[in-house]
């Protein structure tokens, strides 16, 4: 039987506020345990939460960027359960009325566009951390992370393969960083995915029983966990079994998912509106204000690049993989608007390659957009060749000659011979010295042409403009 895999994702994005969602303590990562937990985070008797407006603003920003509805009021609710790293014995989250409702995200999978609908996105606080090692057999609690603001973004079950799930997660990852609400650092847990996976016979409508796989903190694990889980479910069903609804954990070492808890032993969280926090009102003016701070979004940027510069879907998707990358392209292309494709090729080729090699981000690239533009201008006006440009790029990267392209060309003698007379002289000299080959060519031996080109370039020490050499040689050979 053919099976269809159905996937929905819940992504916890850590919002990039300086302080926590309900207290003034810092959210900075990596501090000594419990040094960033104030009395509110410790849930001392009598303390109360006060909502961080910055977190709300970021949620609104997200809502606007996915064309969702911003609910006003939205309501904070308490999710009650006991765990040592949950100091209050409840997590403040949003349940019935989340701040962001609906919306969608457009993504590309293998060059094909697909729209994924969002169910909702809600604000909540993170829990602390339990440290099970190095405490003489006891468990340590670090509450630095307790109260860190999260936006949980929940999709509809609109994905049909692990590749689609990864594409969606990557698009979302790009978006939250693009609009500046999350640093996207997956190692530090700023972007964590839970995947809801079910399977159904292809062509049927009714959803199968789903399993939720928790805490997938890399795109690779997301892909592998889904593949494993879908395979597991299909196997069970094909053997006539049934799927049990449960929460599962992905073990990266064994590349498998296993039961964490079943539906039967799931907590009754006893959600109810938090009486310490009033319903959250978001005025039309506030939404408008936030809208003004939104940058041009990835989708708009992609559309613009295609229309304005005629770039391919592929080029455009690479260039908009991050806002920094797109901004870099914008800054460079502004200086030579007619050479967008050349710009794109260099950014995706030379620059990306070099950054990868050095494990660097484009924001710290030593070759700035105007350096690149200066270099590309010298290629387009024929001053230097594409080949020599790679040497110049290397000099720019190393900061030689005050990062002045013309100075580098001068210093390294990378100027291209583009003067027709000079080239004609070179050609004439080579033709005069190779009468036999000229004859061969004229007798139909095409190969002789390339040999002649090689000799001319050699004579020019590689500096002659190849296009001009080509044209002039052809002209001379056909002219009798």
β-sheet with 272-273: strand ranges across: 90-94, 76-80, 272-273
* Cβ neighbourhood burial of 54 (10 Å; 0-12, 13-18, 19+): middle
Smallest distance, other proteins to C-beta of residue 54, A: 16
Is 78 a binder of other proteins (CB under 8 A)? yes
Is 84 a binder of other proteins (CB under 8 A)? yes
- Cβ atoms < 10 Å from Cβ of 478: 9
Q: In b/e form, how buried is each residue of 306-322, taking b as 16+ CB within 10 angstroms?
A: eeebebeeebbbbbbbb
Q: Which residues inside 11-40 make contact with other proteins, applying CB under 8 A?
A: 39
Smallest distance, other proteins to C-beta of residue 19, A: 14
Q: How many residues bind other proteins (CB under 8 A)?
A: 28
Distance between CA atoms of 116 and 187, rounded to whole angstroms?
26
Kindly write down the DSSP assignment for every residue of 380-427, as one continuous string. HTTSS-HHHHHHHHHHHHHTGGGG-HHHHHHHHT---B--HHHHHHHH
User: Which CB, 54 or 462, lies closer to other proteins?
Assistant: 54
Per-position x/- string for 177-216, each x denoting binding to other proteins as judged by CB under 8 A, each - no binding = ----------------------------------------
Distance between start and end Cα atoms, the chain? 73
Smallest distance, other proteins to C-beta of residue 149, A: 16
**Which tokens in the block code for residue 20?**
């926590």
Is 73 a binder of other proteins (CB under 8 A)? no
- What does each C-alpha distance from 281 to 278, 286, 293, 399, 409 come to in angstroms? 9, 10, 20, 53, 61
Smallest distance, other proteins to C-beta of residue 37, A: 10
User: Which CB, 264 or 446, lies closer to other proteins?
Assistant: 264
Q: Is the peptide bond before 238 cis (omega within 30 degrees of 0)?
A: no
Per-position x/- string for 240-279, each x denoting binding to other proteins as judged by CB under 8 A, each - no binding = ----------------------------x-xxx--xxxx-
Q: Which residues inside 107-146 make contact with other proteins, applying CB under 8 A?
A: 141
Smallest distance, other proteins to C-beta of residue 44, A: 7
* 158 Cβ neighbours under 8 A, 6+ residues apart: 8, 114, 115, 116, 117
Partners of 122 in beta bridges: 152
DSSP 8-state assignment for residue 350: I
Smallest distance, other proteins to C-beta of residue 276, A: 5
Is 413 a binder of other proteins (CB under 8 A)? no
Q: Which stretch binds other proteins (CB under 8 A): 78-86, 290-298, 304-312, 397-405?
A: 78-86
Q: Which of 17, 65, 90, 311 binds other proteins (CB under 8 A)?
A: 90
Is 51 a binder of other proteins (CB under 8 A)? yes
Q: Which of 87, 149, 184, 369 binds other proteins (CB under 8 A)?
A: 87
Is 46 a binder of other proteins (CB under 8 A)? yes
- Cβ atoms < 10 Å from Cβ of 101: 17
Gyration radius (Cα) of the chain, Å: 30
Q: Which of 26, 47, 304, 459 binds other proteins (CB under 8 A)?
A: 47
Distance between CA atoms of 59 and 290, rounded to whole angstroms?
10
How far does Cα 386 stand from its chain's mean position?
30
Q: Which stretch binds other proteins (CB under 8 A): 7-15, 45-53, 329-337, 340-348?
A: 45-53
Smallest distance, other proteins to C-beta of residue 39, A: 6
Smallest distance, other proteins to C-beta of residue 129, A: 14
User: Which CB, 49 or 103, lies closer to other proteins?
Assistant: 49
Binding site for other proteins (CB under 8 A): 39, 42-51, 78, 80, 82, 84, 87-90, 141, 268, 270-272, 275-278
């Amino acid at each position: 039987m053919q099976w269809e895999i159905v996937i929905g994702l819940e992504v916890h994005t850590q919002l990039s506020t300086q302080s926590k969602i309900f207290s003034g303590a810092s959210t900075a990562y990596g501090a000594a345990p419990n040094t960033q937990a104030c009395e509110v985070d410790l849930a001392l008797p009598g303390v109360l939460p006060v909502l961080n407006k910055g977190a709300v603003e970021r949620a609104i920003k997200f809502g606007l960027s996915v064309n969702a509805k911003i609910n006003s009021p939205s309501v904070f609710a308490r999710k009650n359960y006991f765990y040592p790293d949950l100091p209050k014995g409840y997590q403040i989250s949003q349940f019935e009325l989340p701040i962001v409702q609906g919306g969608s995200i457009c993504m590309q999978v293998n060059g094909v566009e697909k729209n994924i609908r969002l169910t909702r996105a809600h604000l909540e606080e993170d829990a602390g951390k339990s440290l099970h090692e190095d405490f003489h057999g006891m468990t340590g609690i670090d509450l630095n992370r307790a109260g860190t603001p999260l936006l949980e973004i929940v999709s509809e079950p609109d994905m049909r393969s692990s590749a689609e799930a990864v594409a969606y997660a990557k698009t979302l990852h790009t978006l939250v960083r693009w609009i500046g609400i999350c640093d996207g650092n997956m190692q530090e847990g700023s972007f964590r995915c839970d995947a809801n996976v079910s399977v159904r016979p292809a062509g049927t409508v009714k959803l199968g029983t789903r399993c939720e796989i928790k805490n997938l903190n890399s795109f690779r694990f997301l892909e592998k966990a889904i593949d494993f889980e879908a395979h597991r479910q299909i196997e069970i069903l094909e053997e006539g079994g049934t799927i049990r609804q449960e929460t599962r954990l992905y073990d990266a070492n064994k590349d498998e998912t296993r039961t964490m808890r079943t539906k039967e032993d799931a907590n009754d969280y006893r959600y109810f509106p938090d009486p310490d926090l009033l319903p959250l009102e978001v005025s039309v003016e506030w939404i408008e204000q936030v809208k003004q701070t939104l940058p041009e979004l990835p989708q708009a940027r992609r559309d613009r690049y295609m229309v304005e510069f005629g770039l391919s879907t592929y080029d455009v998707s690479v260039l908009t993989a991050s806002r920094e990358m797109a901004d870099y392209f914008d800054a460079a292309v502004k200086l030579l608007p007619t050479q967008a494709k050349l710009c794109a090729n260099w950014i995706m080729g030379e620059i990306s390659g070099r950054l990868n090699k050095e494990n660097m981000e484009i924001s710290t690239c030593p070759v700035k957009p105007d350096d690149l533009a200066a270099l590309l201008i010298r290629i387009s006006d024929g001053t230097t060749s594409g080949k020599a440009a790679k040497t110049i790029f290397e000099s720019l990267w190393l900061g030689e000659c005050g990062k002045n392209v013309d100075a580098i060309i001068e210093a390294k003698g990378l100027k291209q011979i583009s003067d027709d007379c000079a080239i004609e002289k070179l050609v004439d000299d080579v033709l005069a010295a190779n009468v036999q080959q000229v004859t061969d060519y004229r007798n139909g031996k095409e190969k002789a042409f390339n040999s002649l080109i090689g000799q001319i370039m050699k004579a020019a020490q590689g500096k002659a403009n190849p296009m001009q050499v080509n044209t002039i040689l052809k002209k001379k050979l056909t002219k009798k």
